[in-house]
Structure formats: C-alpha cells, structure tokens
Structure 1
Amino acid sequence: MECNEIEQLLSEALSLEEVHVSQDGTHYKIVAVGECFDGVSRVKQQQMIYAPLMEQVTSGALHAITINAFTPTQWKREKIFNMPG
C-alpha cells in the first residue's frame, strides 16, 4: 500500500491537521497530528488510527505499523526537541 493512500485515508477519517507516513520495507511509521487526540489516552489514539486502516491490516496489506499521535501543541514541541543541532 502506498504511503499517500494511507495519509489520505487517515486525513479523511480523522480530520487531521497533518499526517506523515513513511515506509521501510513492510514496516510503516505513521505520525498523526490533530485536535482529535487532545485528552485521549495513548491506547485510544492508536485505536482511532487503526480503525480506518483495519481492512488493510486484516488483508495483510499493512503489516508492521508504528504510530505516533500528537495534538498540534505537542507536535510543535516534538519538532523543536528533535531538530538537528
């Protein structure tokens, strides 16, 4: 499955401000940014992201997935801390 297809699915399903998907072989990394994650537990955030992808997960099109979900405020802080020095 193409990264841009995953980004589109998630953006439409969750009204995200940003979504970034990268792929390394069969492993996908998803970074999702949206107000919808505010005050939501990490487990619930992951469930929210998995839900629109469930068909692809069960079919085997998506295998290994790493999810990082942020509110816009958390994402700004994350980018500052992870900038190369």
Structure 2
Amino acid sequence: MDENQIRSKLKALDPVHLEIEDFSDGCGKKFKLLVVSDAFDKKPLLERHRMVNTALVEEMPHIHALTMKTLTPEQWKNSKSLDC
C-alpha cells in the first residue's frame, strides 16, 4: 500500500486539497489524511469519514491504522488562518 494508491482512490471525492502521510516506518500500513472537499458540505463528521472509508474500501484490509481530518474548503481556509 502506498500514498499514490490512496490518492488515486480519494479522487472520487474530488478533493481541492489532499495530504497523505505514511507514519508506518515505510511498511504502508498506517496513514494520516487531510481531505478537503466540497463533497463534505453539510455532512456530519461521521458521514464524511464513511465517504472516505467507502472510497478506500478495497484498500482498508491492508491498512492497520487510518487517521483522517475531513474539511470543507471553507473550514480549511478558516483553520489555516488560525495557524499563526
């Protein structure tokens, strides 16, 4: 499992920004995601995470740990402005 495989599958969510970090010492089993997409607009957090999990359904058996932050573009813009 590598970042490119995950990136390819998450294109289904049409992200405006996507960060993928492999924190598994190179074995491709643990990932952190930041997914910014209009598809998350008016969706609760649980539904957003389900959308990501659905996009990665074929990869999930190979992933040991997945941490994700799912934001709308507006939320991302506001969170970046707080990072002084």
Q: TM-score range by the shorter chain?
A: 0.7 to 0.9
Q: Distance in 2 between matches of 1:36 and 1:54?
A: 18
Which residue of 2 is the match for residue 9 of structure 1?
A: 9
Residue 57 of structure 2 is aligned to residue 54 of structure 1? yes
Q: Distance in 1 between matches of 2:82 and 2:67?
A: 20
Compute the RMSD of aligned alpha carbons. 1.2
Q: Distance in 2 between matches of 1:37 and 1:10?
A: 13
TM-score normalized by the length of structure 2? 0.86
Q: Distance in 1 between matches of 2:3 and 2:20?
A: 5
Q: Distance in 1 between matches of 2:17 and 2:8?
A: 11
Q: Distance in 2 between matches of 1:18 and 1:78?
A: 13
Deviation at 1:39, TM superposition (A): 0.6
Which residue of 2 is the match for residue 39 of structure 1?
A: 42
Which residue of 1 is the match for residue 32 of structure 2?
A: 29
SS at match of 1:10: helix
Unaligned runs of 5+ residues in structure 2 are none
Unaligned runs of 5+ residues in structure 1 are none
Q: Distance in 2 between matches of 1:35 and 1:7?
A: 17
Deviation at 1:82, TM superposition (A): 2.7
